[in-house]
Amino acid sequence: MKAYQLERYGKGQRLALTELPDPVPASGEVLVEIHATAINQLDGKIRDGAFKPILPYKPPVILGHDLAGIVTAVGANVRRFKVGDAVYARPRDGRIGTFAERIAVNEADVAAKPAGLSMAEAASIPLVGLTAWQVLVERAGLKRGQKILIHAGTGGVGTIAIQLARHLGATVATTASAANADLVKRLGADVVIDYRTQDFSELLSGYDVVLNSLDGKTLEKSLKVLKPGGKLISISGPPDPAFATAQGLNPVIRLVLRLMSAGIRRKAKRHGVDYSFLFMQADGGQLGQLGALIDQGTIKPVVDRIFPFENLNDAVDHVDSGRAKGKVVVTLRQSASAR
């Protein structure tokens, strides 16, 4: 099969197109012929080496965290899927590799593809959809009548999180440029802060939850908009001790992460706010619940651009540019964009 490999860590490294043996599904795994994948900022951070302490992949390694495709073989003890099923997934950490024509995935990470979506649209959902679900539903327990600030509303996570928060009955504020205000309003944002001309920390107050995906300065300013007992949840760091323990990281890395997050944890405590870092986990069951919301029309994918497989490095560059609205998708089959 054809696959794009990271041959060595380095900022801006191009991924190398190579020929590799087809994977063989182990017990509990399904083999998926990938019709579409998507690019995430996480792929660039792994490529650059930023996640080596947390995700110590050893190059050469195939990157890629999203897929939509067709099951072509099943391993022993697979019960939920059969050959021919259309599926989508975010493979678990340590088993990524969707920048390829095929991949073997644990069936627990897989869900049926939403019927109304093309393969390209479905591939845009898993990582960002699971991130939004795990922040809003699991970590925040967001409820009707609460208020949430979602930073970077036009980003991959932001576009899904706004829709999910609206479905949960929350009042939604988001940061975006004035040019993108109409987009985030259509997705369900009640309040739009133009980050270029307005200071969200001076305009918002009494919020229950903040979802941060930006830098440390934004993270600290977000404390000001939360009411006592509010929750500041970051998907861009710094990782906290609870995350380090859950990941089973070695004592040295645990200490480093404790020190990295000490400042924001101390300031959050001073504000009476709970700070936590979330690194999403693969979960086919949650993807199934998201798929039901998609089939109902509650959540819709936001796809910025679609690139062919041979131009995958250009797709990565486009994500690196920071100009994408929603997700950037790569198709491996001509029919992937057709519903």
**176: in domain:** yes
307: Cα within 13 Å, side-chain hemisphere: 20
Indicate the helix (H) or strand (E) that contains 142.
none
pTM score over 0.95: yes
- Same domain for 106 and 153, yes or no, is no
- Same domain for 170 and 194, yes or no, is yes
Contacting residues for 145 by C-beta, under 8 A, at least 6 apart: 169, 170, 171
Distance CA 50, CA 90 (A): 20
**284: in domain:** no
Burial-class residue 203 by CB neighbours within 10 Å (0-12, 13-18, 19+).
exposed
- Same domain for 23 and 132, yes or no, is no
pLDDT value of position 280: 96
- Same domain for 151 and 234, yes or no, is yes
Of 277, 293, 317, which one is at a domain's C-terminal end? 277
pLDDT value of position 244: 87
**86: in domain:** yes
- Same domain for 59 and 180, yes or no, is no
Q: How would you write the pLDDT of the chain (339 residues) with one tens digit per residue?
A: 999 999 999 998 999 999 999 999 999 999 999 999 999 999 999 999 998 888 989 999 999 999 999 999 999 999 999 999 999 999 999 999 999 999 999 999 999 999 999 999 999 999 999 999 999 999 999 999 999 999 999 999 999 999 999 999 999 999 999 999 999 999 999 999 999 999 999 999 999 999 999 999 999 999 999 999 999 999 998 998 989 888 888 899 899 899 989 999 999 999 999 999 999 999 999 999 999 999 999 999 999 999 999 999 999 999 999 989 999 999 999 888 887
- Same domain for 112 and 223, yes or no, is no
Q: Is 138 within 8 Å of 124 (Cβ atoms)?
A: no
Cβ neighbour number for residue 48 with a 10 Å cutoff: 15
**111: in domain:** yes
Of 261, 277, 293, which one is at a domain's C-terminal end? 277
In Å, what is the CA distance from 339 to each residue of 230, 296, 315, 331? Answer: 41, 16, 22, 13
- Same domain for 119 and 135, yes or no, is no
- Same domain for 207 and 135, yes or no, is yes
Cβ neighbour number for residue 46 with a 10 Å cutoff: 21
**285: in domain:** no
When computed from its CA atoms, the radius of gyration of the chain, rounded to whole angstroms, is: 20
Instruction: Tell me the pairing of strands 102-106 and 86-89.
Output: unpaired
Domain at 99, CATH number? 3.90.180.10
**172: in domain:** yes
Return the closest-CA partner of residue 234 out of 131, 128, 328, 127.
131
- Same domain for 140 and 273, yes or no, is yes
- Same domain for 228 and 202, yes or no, is yes
pLDDT value of position 20: 97
Domain count, the chain: 2
Q: Is 233 within 8 Å of 140 (Cβ atoms)?
A: yes
> Which residue spans within the chain are E strands per DSSP?
2-6, 16-19, 29-39, 61-62, 67-74, 86-89, 102-106, 110-112, 147-150, 171-176, 191-194, 207-212, 226-234, 274-277, 303-308, 327-331
**24: in domain:** yes
Distance CA 141, CA 170 (A): 11
Could you report how far apart the first and last alpha carbons of the chain are, in Å?
25
**282: in domain:** no
Domain at 254, CATH number? 3.40.50.720
Q: Is 135 within 8 Å of 278 (Cβ atoms)?
A: yes
Quick one: DSSP state of residue 179?
A: G
Distance CA 187, CA 164 (A): 9
Domain containing residue 67: 2-125+301-337
pLDDT value of position 106: 98
- Same domain for 132 and 237, yes or no, is yes
Distance CA 269, CA 286 (A): 31
Distance CA 229, CA 218 (A): 19
- Same domain for 136 and 269, yes or no, is yes
Find tokens 């696959």 and name the residue: 3
Of 277, 311, 326, which one is at a domain's C-terminal end? 277
